Structure 1
Amino acid sequence: MRNTRHLSDLIARHAPGDGTHCTALPRLRFIRSGKPTLPMPAIYTPSLCLVAQGEKEAQLATRRFRYDPANFLVAAVDLPVIGAVTRASAEEPYLCLVLDLDRTALAELITAHADAVRDSAPLDLGLMLGQSTQDMLDAACRLVTLLDNEADVAALAPLIERELMWRLLRGPAGPMLRRMAAADTRLGRIDQAIAWLRDHFAEPVSVEQLAERAGMSASAFHEHFRAVTGLSPLRYRAQIRLQEARRLMLTEGLEAANAGFEVGYNSPSQFSREYGQVFGLPPARDVTRLREAGTPAAA
């Protein structure tokens, strides 16, 4: 598509090297990679990922999502995924626009245009693919172009961000995002429990306590939590713990046992066993592999 090439040129200009590049817009950033990458854990926050060039795969539990210039990825809640750039080269690097979704703006759009935004689908995973359209790509190009003029950014960026969210609301992702914007829906209550887990992952907690926080029965909470995240509540917490332990070992040089203790594990053997199940290698060997590959810690 014509706009895909234009968007890739714009992103490449603002992201001259590999890595994540923040912009003058707090919710907008770019990701570039000149080569395929190892599978790395990351937390996908509520956001739109619009690829201009290359391809990436995100794995959530047992499901895999491949997104490229033809297909965007959108997340409605914080989700622990394993992500890898699968198609990229120095000549044609992976280039991606990431726009964090503004829950308040989404709620305003839904309230103002209730008749045009329907919610008819059952509760499902909080991560999905959709087909990139010319309208979306055109809006994305106009948003990136604003970065060249500070006055335009302040005046026009909120309007174009709302336009992109409107395009999402009017498409297959609409029902999921409508539930995300409403705190009193089941997805909204699951989101509240997820936020607590992310802030308190090292603390002991039971499913019953999490369900009470969400205002749901334990059985209903467990069912809906798994539907949204693909994981049980305690398995979700384990993923968060293990990702943080990996970061502590890579960036702060902690030994495996100390990193496990810092994130809430009292048993080094349990920590090592669960780490290997998620990352494929025991902690020390995994960190050595990542350092030799020059791979940075996950965000």
Structure 2
Amino acid sequence: MEHDTLAPLRDLIARQWQQHGRETPINGLHLTSVSAPTGPIHAVCRPSLCVVVQGAKVSMLGDRAFRYDAGKCLIASMEVPIQAEITRATPDRPYLAFSLELDPATISDLLLEIGGAADIQPGPALAVHAIGAELLDPLCRLLRLCDRPRDIAVLSPLIRREITWHLLNGPMGPALRQVGLAGSHMARIGRSIARIRESFAEQLNIRQLAEVAGMSPATFHRHFKEATAMTPVQYQKQLRLQEARRLLLADAADVARVGYAIGYESPSQFSREYRRMFGAPPGRDGLAIRKGFAPQTEA
């Protein structure tokens, strides 16, 4: 796509950012404007569409890198912990992007219109594609709704449904269809992920997670890693450590107490694994976050 076709989106994001910042009046619509490259940003990526209209970014899912710049989007079809980094941004040309959470119920409903069983191919939870021209108009209309709060409750669901329809009928369709099909591998792995998130501080039981997904332990392990580029143990560890960072950001809690709260029995193991993920031991990193010197986790 020619980048000048992105000018309306760029202008809308820049204007809405000045007015609202990251959180817009539309639930699940988040803006980003960054004037310099960042260090690692650790986040849990929910089912969503992330559109970049200026600058560039890379997101790591396990050891897989997903790179996207102006005119490209990242589709996340399930909740996964990622490490992201904005690689191109300047004060004159800041990184501009927005993310829109996707509703599995809407996807399921629309699948009835197009036949949900076609083109179902198991794959990773993230995918990068070019934004189709048919998406530009509804995306602009959704952003403009931020200026008309009275219209949001009525019109936002309609426009989001239109956006989801175009996504399902485009190159991103196969990945999204798995979100809406209860029996698909992606949806079944998603149920096990929800169980991990609900009880991430508890000891992991692979057999129970496999039962939640309706798979044998060996099949579950294979499909889990195919979708997330991580084993269930690695996935749980990332969730635990991101929660630890959130707790350290919220208050200057005792490091050992934070480790116990997220499921670590050994303070030294907690400190060692925290440092491996975030580049500094928890006490020092927590202090840096609170002083604003370290990159913080984004939702």
The one-letter code sitting in structure 2 at the alignment partner of 1:238 is K
TM-score by length of 1: 0.92
**Which of 9, 12, 23 is matched with 1:10 structurally?**
12
Give 1:149 deviation, angstroms: 2.2
Contact kept, 8 Å, 2:62 with 2:230, in 1: the verdict is: yes
Cross-structure match for 1:145: 144
Distance change (3 Å), C-alpha of 1:170 and 1:118: farther
The one-letter code sitting in structure 2 at the alignment partner of 1:16 is Q
1:140 and 1:51 map into 2 onto residues whose CA distance is: 12
Give 1:39 deviation, angstroms: 0.4
1:69 and 1:92 map into 2 onto residues whose CA distance is: 12
SS at match of 1:24: coil
Contact kept, 8 Å, 1:69 with 1:132, in 2: the verdict is: no
1:220 and 1:109 map into 2 onto residues whose CA distance is: 29
The one-letter code sitting in structure 1 at the alignment partner of 2:99 is V
Cross-structure match for 1:59: 60
The one-letter code sitting in structure 2 at the alignment partner of 1:184 is G
Q: After TM superposition, what 4+ stretches of structure 1 lie above 4 angstroms from structure 2?
A: none
2:251 and 2:145 map into 1 onto residues whose CA distance is: 38
Give 1:151 deviation, angstroms: 4.1
Cross-structure match for 1:209: 208
2:105 and 2:120 map into 1 onto residues whose CA distance is: 22
Alignment of 1:80-119 (within 5 A): 80-114=81-115, 119=118
SS at match of 2:86: strand
1:126-158 CA-to-partner distances (Å, cap 9, x unmatched) read 111011122222221121112222344333322
2:273 and 2:119 map into 1 onto residues whose CA distance is: 38
2:67 and 2:162 map into 1 onto residues whose CA distance is: 25
Greater relative contact order, per chain length (Cα 8 Å cut-off, separation 6+): 2
Give 1:201 deviation, angstroms: 0.5
Gaps of at least 5 residues in structure 2 are none
2:66 and 2:212 map into 1 onto residues whose CA distance is: 31
Distance change (3 Å), C-alpha of 1:280 and 1:182: same
2:117 and 2:51 map into 1 onto residues whose CA distance is: 24
SS at match of 2:22: strand
Aligned residues: 296
Alignment of 1:127-146 (within 5 A): 127-146=126-145
What RMSD in Å do the two structures reach over aligned CA positions? 2.0
TM-score by length of 2: 0.92
